[in-house]
Amino acid sequence: MKTSHKLLILLTTGFILTGCINQPKPGSPESAALIQQKKEEKVQEANQAQIDALPEWAKIPPESDLAIYGVGSSTHSDMSTARRAAIVKAQAQVAENLDSRLSQSTKVWFDESTFDATGNSDKVEQAIKTVVAETTLRGLKIKEIKFAATGSKVTAYTLIEYPIGDANRALVEQIRKDAALAQEARKNDAFKELEAEVERLKNS
């Protein structure tokens, strides 16, 4: 028993000494490299934790013919501040996506020669900008919100929805403010149908 005990002590001591020997000398290039490696490992762990915390709708935002979606995230020491900042970022994404969607719609409503006529493209672009600006004030709906701890801070994730129908109706109303532009748009059946839908909703 005594021999086994002594052998165990010798082995333990050997492991400790080996560990000490393998430790780089403080201030040496090897020590600096080890410190840098540990820092990088911590950053990787933090990044992986954020990825793991991402909700599925943030990884792959929903797609729909009926709505535009925006995803935003923000990290802050205060939960409510993180939430507000995440919503603002999601709104910005909705605006960007909406601008693209409405631009595609107007290209369908006008033929190329009409659209490129002097001033028409500028008028349509201004109408789109007006509609997109209004989405930051009304019509937006918060679909999802999730919070995750990020070290000593909180990360907020949010998903915002904006009905494409509301945007299309707003764009129709903007185009109708210019009689000549509206007349050209009415040559397209899709625009006439949408215009009729706007009137139906107004009178319902």
CB–CB of 171/131 below 8 Å?
Answer: yes
Phi and psi torsions of 138, nearest 5°: -150, 160
Instruction: Centre a 10 Å sphere on the Cβ of residue 162 and count the other Cβ atoms it contains.
Output: 24
Amino acid at 86: A
pTM for the model: 0.69
Classify 23 as helix, strand or coil: coil
| Percent of the chain clearing pLDDT 90 (strictly above) | 27
Model pLDDT for residues 167-182, shown as the tens digit of each residue: 888 899 999 999 988 9
- Residues paired with 73 in a beta bridge: 157
pLDDT digits (tens, 9 = 90+) for 37-79: 777 777 676 666 667 778 999 889 899 988 999 999 999 999 9
CA atoms of 155 and 82, how far apart (whole Å): 6
- Report whether 124 contacts 175 (CB < 8 A): yes
